[in-house]
Amino acid sequence: MDLLDELGVGDAVRSGSPPASALRFEVDGSHVIVEPPPGRHECCPRRHRLDRLLQEKAIESGAEFLDKTRVGELVWDGDRVVGVRATRDGQTLEFRGTVTIGADGRRSTVAPLAGAEEYLAYDSPRGMYWAYWEPPAVWRGPDYPYDFLLRFDNNDRRVIFSTDNGELLLGTLPPLDVARRWRSDLETEYVADLSADPQIGPLVRGGRMTGKVIGTVNERFFFRRSAGPGWALVGDAGHHKDPILGWGISEALDGAKRLAAAITAGGDEALHRCWIARDVESLPRFRLAQERGALGRLNPLFPVVLSKASKMPSLLQRMVQEIEFGVNPYELLPVPKVALWTLQAAVKGRPRLLLDFVAQGKQASAVASEVKQRRRLLETTSSET
């Protein structure tokens, strides 16, 4: 929302999208409710409205908008990209510029044309299906003291987002083999899955779906080389992560702001540094989303941590900072306290949690090592330029 305020569309987004002032995170029966401070509420606007607002603001700021225009080629001068060729109403048009930006999503046209290779890529083990619902009256009752839900229960992953016009986005992320089977009778399977959830079921049984079920399977998550002579990638074109944590639009806006600063600084070196800096910032969230979207239960240590965190205001505040990209998610929890909680649980009859603590420590160490390598690369790039 800070970024949308900078662009001048924040108030328009808030006018149609209700503020999420209480966020519930639940793992295998344990949960916390995180409350951002006043004026720092989350919003989940529908894309058709958000995109229109951004498009109108861009035009107002001097951008030329060409609808129904498809880029098919890059224009090269030696090894440098100097523009694009596109088709519009059967005509071929050529546009040239100092920098050509691929902001064209995870199935980017620009990326393969520029030779932007993938790295750290993997195929999603899950599908995702969602629809928009007019909620029943119970949604605003005492059984739902929150506006957002992210729920991990055994192998299930389900979400609730409050969105435009008081509607709810109700989503589920079944394992890929299950998601593929659903396609023969998608709405029935989707409704049956959500009806079985103790939090979401009453909303489905008492609510009304306002549109069709939307879904995605066969997703691939990746980083791509995102800068080269005369070109750069931004948003999902350069980096696409598991959507389970709901950070995509925020990261795309943040990446666009960073890239704008690099373009203003000028030169291919600034674009290159912007790409590497993105990796430094995004890697922990990429790995966290990969971990949360994996098949099976989450690490059994997490319910223990949530049950303790719910009684610690300082830790809940750090969770807010993590949501706002102010804290590395792998540095969120104080290791000494988690170690103490693990030992206490082990003494009370859960000794396997010691192994789970070690496993989580190894994961955090591996992520820290990856980030360190890229930070070193960024420092090297900065010193050379």
For each of the chain's 385 residues, which pLDDT tens digit applies? 999 999 999 999 999 999 999 999 999 999 999 999 888 889 999 999 999 999 999 999 999 999 999 999 999 999 999 999 999 999 999 999 999 999 999 999 999 999 999 999 999 999 999 999 999 999 999 999 999 999 999 999 999 999 999 999 999 999 999 999 999 999 999 999 999 999 999 999 999 999 999 999 999 999 999 999 999 999 999 999 999 988 889 999 999 999 999 999 999 999 999 999 999 999 999 999 999 999 999 999 999 999 998 889 999 999 999 988 889 999 998 899 999 999 999 999 999 999 999 999 999 999 999 999 999 988 887 655 5
Q: By the 8 A CB rule, do 65 and 55 touch?
A: yes
3-state DSSP call for residue 30? strand
Give buried/exposed letters for 352-382 (b at 16+ CB in 10 A, else e): ebeebbeebeeebeebeebbeebeeebeeee
Which pLDDT score is estimated for 284? 96
Q: 288: closest CA among 96, 24, 25? A: 25
Strands (E) located in 207-338 = 208-209, 214-216, 220-224, 227-228, 231-233, 239-240
∠254-260-266 over CA atoms, to 5°?
A: 140
Which pLDDT score is estimated for 373? 92
- 66-123+219-293 folds as FAD/NAD(P)-binding domain (3.50.50)
Q: Quick one: CATH architecture of 2-48+125-216?
A: 2-Layer Sandwich (3.30)
Q: By the 8 A CB rule, do 357 and 301 touch?
A: yes
Residue 31 C-beta-side C-alpha neighbours within 13 Å: 17
Tell me where in the chain the CATH 3.50.50.60 domain(s) lie.
66-123+219-293
Tell me where in the chain the CATH 3.30.9.100 domain(s) lie.
2-48+125-216
The neighbouring-strand residues paired with 148 are 23, 161
Which pLDDT score is estimated for 381? 76
